[in-house]
Structure 1
């Protein structure tokens, strides 16, 4: 994501629609998220409030297509993962993955590996090499990200490419309506969900054995 404003929400966008979690809803499959946050000098590069907004916006956009997300664990990462400068830096996050969860990595900065003069807001990434599971993939979100960047990158996670339709969440150009997935993208999300569950790449949130780790967002913001 290159422009902070392109995927930002206006006051009329998702105002009033934000949710703090993925409450039970018939026909909606809730998946477990693990939020991994880099720390610099002992402080996280983004706040919990900021992360909650990202997750809430993702839920607002995915729920109409029968998918939702719930934070099941949070982990701190040391400063070596705060500034991602190249492909190797991104690949190394593959060593921190949690099986059958969607891992999201929040970092201070994310340099564009194709245009090094640019910094990106987020990326869906597949680590390459024998050290990583064949199907490993995850999402990286930078501290400069707009409020719907996590939703955009999760759109890639579920198999959607970019769109040239202004306002579509997979488009870089903001339109005159709140961001959305179209029906074709929604069908792809549901297809990917079935594959993820069938192949045991992911489990449903209620089946995630993370009782002691489960995050209920009761801690104070940092």
Structure 2
């Protein structure tokens, strides 16, 4: 005869057998797709003319889409506007900070400027930067110079999604290039996906 304790134990084991597959299925379930994330692009004007035309901007966006869309992190340009001439040449940290007043909320803000000086070594010019407002670091945005090569927007978006620089030749986050198409590795891809999900769940970006 089976004791009451043994019967209870058998019942619990049976219940566990029923629950385990459900837990396993829950772990195996793929996460929900990341919805398209909005990019707004503001282009500085000098003398009434934009410092870069649509074809140049499209080339920057095309490279960004080539790298991020396959990761399941879709980016979509949702708006274009002009930056005042006063914001066209960025020489100092204060100049970069001043762009925070022109941000569109809950979007990835990209500012195309005529020139961007290196604030750590003023003898140098930069092609791009991911900048955080010094007093309000939650306000952050991408600045791209009119002299930038086609992968600069993608590189700075990499910083926007939490990626540091890389020492691997031809990696998107590296300065060491051979001319081959830049790439992101698996660990970088996971980090970009994680940041993208965080921006959505924390309602820091409003998906398209």
The TM tier, using the shorter chain, reads 0.7 to 0.9
Instruction: Write the mapping of 1:83-94 to structure 2, written as runs, cut at 5 A.
Output: 83-94=89-100
Q: 2:191 aligns with which of 185, 188, 193?
A: 188
For the aligned residue pairs, the C-alpha RMSD in angstroms reads: 1.4
| TM-superposition CA deviations, 1:163-217 (whole Å, max 9, x none) | 0000100000114642101111101001101110111100211xxxxxxxxxxxx
Give the TM-score of the pair, scaled to structure 2: 0.82
Structure showing greater radius of gyration is: 2
Distance 2:204 2:109 in 1: 12
Q: After superposition, what is the alpha-carbon deviation per residue over 1:22-47, rounded to whole angstroms, capped at 9, x for unaligned? A: xxxx9453111110110000000011
Q: Secondary structure in 2 aligned to 1:72?
A: strand
Partners of 2:34 and 2:197 within 8 A in 1: no
Is contact 2:41-2:80 (8 Å) kept? yes
Partner of 1:65: 71
- TM-score, length-normalised on structure 1? 0.77
Matches within 5 A, 1:203-214: 203-205=206-208
Residue 39 of structure 2 corresponds to 33
Per the alignment, residue 127 of structure 1 pairs with 133
Aligned to 2:26: none
Q: Please, which of 153, 156, 174 is the counterpart of residue 153 of structure 1?
A: 156
CA contact (8 A) 1:168 1:175 kept: no
Count of residue pairs the alignment pairs up: 177
Q: Within 2, Cα distance between the matches of 1:199 and 1:92? A: 25
After superposition, the Cα gap between the structure-2 partners of 1:177 and 1:28, relative to the gap in structure 1 and judged at 3 Å, is farther
Partner of residue 110, structure 1: 116
Residue 36 of structure 2: SS of its match in structure 1? strand
Does the Cα contact within 8 Å between 1:159 and 1:192 map onto a contact in 2? yes
Residue equivalent to 1:98: 104
Deviation at 1:71, TM superposition (A): 1.1
What is the CA deviation profile of residues 96-148 of structure 1, one whole-angstrom value per residue up to 9, with x for unaligned ones? 1111100000000000000000000000000122xx4x511100000000000
Normalized per residue, which structure has more helix? 2
Q: Provide the rounded CA distance (Å) in 2 between the counterparts of 1:142 and 1:117.
A: 16
Alpha-carbon distance in structure 1 between the residues aligned to 2:115 and 2:169: 26
Structure 2 unaligned spans of 5+? 1-31
Partner-residue secondary structure (3-state), 1:67: coil
CA contact (8 A) 1:28 1:63 kept: no
What is the CA deviation profile of residues 64-102 of structure 1, one whole-angstrom value per residue up to 9, with x for unaligned ones? 211121111111111100000000000000001111100
